[in-house]
Structure formats: C-alpha cells, structure tokens
Amino acid sequence: MGELGSCENRAGRALKINRSPARPVRLAATTYAGYKNMANKYVTDEARKQIGKAGEPRTVEVERGAIRRFAEAIGDPNPIFNSDREARQGRFGGMIAPPTFCRSLAAAIPDVKLEMGESFRGLDGGSDWEYFEPIRAGDRITVQTKIADLRESAGKLGPMVFITTETSYTNQFGQVCAIQRATAIRY
C-alpha cells in the first residue's frame, strides 16, 4: 500500500488519502472474455441501419402567452420573456422565448428497434444544445428528431446501448433556431 496522508473534512475529522502511484487494473479473464462475447449483442449491422431515421416533423405556432407562462413556470422574471413593451427596447426588438422553451415543443422521436426484450431499463444520458436564432411569438417552429448514433458498451449489469438523437427546431423562414443532441441509455 502506498503512503498515507491526512487532511480534515468540514467537521474537523481526519480523512485518510491514499497517495500511492496509480496501478493498472487487471480484469479477470472471465470478465474480459464475457465482454468480448457481449460486444455488439444488440447494436448489430441491422440496428445501425436505423441511424439517420427521422421522426415525423411537427410544426407548432408559438404564442405570446405560452412564452409568458413558460417563463413564469421556470421563475425567470426577465422582461425579454415577459413584457413585449420592455422587450422592444432590447437588442431583439421584442419578446423572445427562453432558450429552454424548446423543451416544451414536443418532437416525434423515432422508434429504435433493438432486440432487448420488453424488460430493459432506461436512463437519460443528458443533452447538449446549440442556439442560433431566437424564437419569437408568432413563429411557426418545425421540430424534427433523427437518430444520430447507436453504440454499445459493457456495464456492470450487462450490455448498455447509447442512443443519440438530434432534434432541430426550425422557424418558418427555414432558419435553424436550435439543435438538441440527447443521449438515452438502455440496459
């Protein structure tokens, strides 16, 4: 075992810190062999053909009241989201929707067909967002989601499948307002 140091936590209790040099972790042969046999159990060449598959586009007309209610629900008092009169004085020349408003514009998510049975578990692996144009009251936003990637990895409970989707939010002028890249995890 390596050299131990100590420090205090917030309660004033001593904590032990292992300062030994990093050692490589050796996997048992059965674990490694099990992983090799498990790799791409669900993400087959057939499953990969779903990459690029898009859900049905949905178009939503954005209402001024919906923007105000959303801003109120998230507790954002910024007048750019709440007051058309005050927002006209700002750099956007009027009221716009908060960036997270896109979450309220439901997209048709394409069904991903994997041979995992009916009893798989699912987790939200997070989202990344890019914003390009503000969404304004009166805009007609078309929301469409496509499958961007499928990959498989080994987890403690068995294989995990990572499904990455890309959702675009496009206004009536063909301008992309935002893009969301989300990851769902099935295991």
CATH number (domain holding residue 114): 3.10.129
Q: Among 10-19, 57-66, 100-109, 152-161, which stretch is predicted with the lowest mean pLDDT?
A: 10-19
Determine the 3-state secondary structure of 9 from DSSP. coil
Tell me how far apart the alpha carbons of residues 48 and 119 are, in angstroms, rounded to a whole number. 21
- Number of structural domains the chain divides into: 1
For the stretch 155-168, pLDDT in tens is 888 889 999 999 99
How open is the CA angle 165-143-93, to the nearest 5 degrees?
Answer: 125
Instruction: Give me the residues paired with residue 129 across strands.
Output: 180
Q: Please check whether residue 100 lies inside any domain of the structure.
A: no
Q: Please check whether residue 54 lies inside any domain of the structure.
A: yes
For the stretch 50-60, pLDDT in tens is 999 999 999 99
Share of the chain above pLDDT 70, in %: 79
Q: Please check whether residue 86 lies inside any domain of the structure.
A: no
Tell me how far apart the alpha carbons of residues 2 and 145 are, in angstroms, rounded to a whole number. 51
Q: Please check whether residue 84 lies inside any domain of the structure.
A: no
Amino acid at 140: R
Distance of CA 38 to CAs 12, 16, 41, 150, 152, Å?
Answer: 47, 38, 5, 16, 9
Pull the structure tokens for residue 174. 């063909």
Q: Which helix (H) or strand (E) holds 31?
A: helix 29-38
pLDDT band with cut points at 50, 70 and 90 for residue 121: confident
The pLDDT value recorded for residue 97 is: 97
The strand order across the sheet containing 122-131 reads 58-61, 140-155, 158-170, 176-186, 122-131
Q: Please check whether residue 167 lies inside any domain of the structure.
A: yes
The pLDDT value recorded for residue 39 is: 55
* Domain span holding position 51: 31-62+105-186
pLDDT band with cut points at 50, 70 and 90 for residue 85: very high
Tell whether pTM > 0.95: no
Q: Please check whether residue 39 lies inside any domain of the structure.
A: yes
Q: Please check whether residue 169 lies inside any domain of the structure.
A: yes
Pull the structure tokens for residue 133. 């144009």
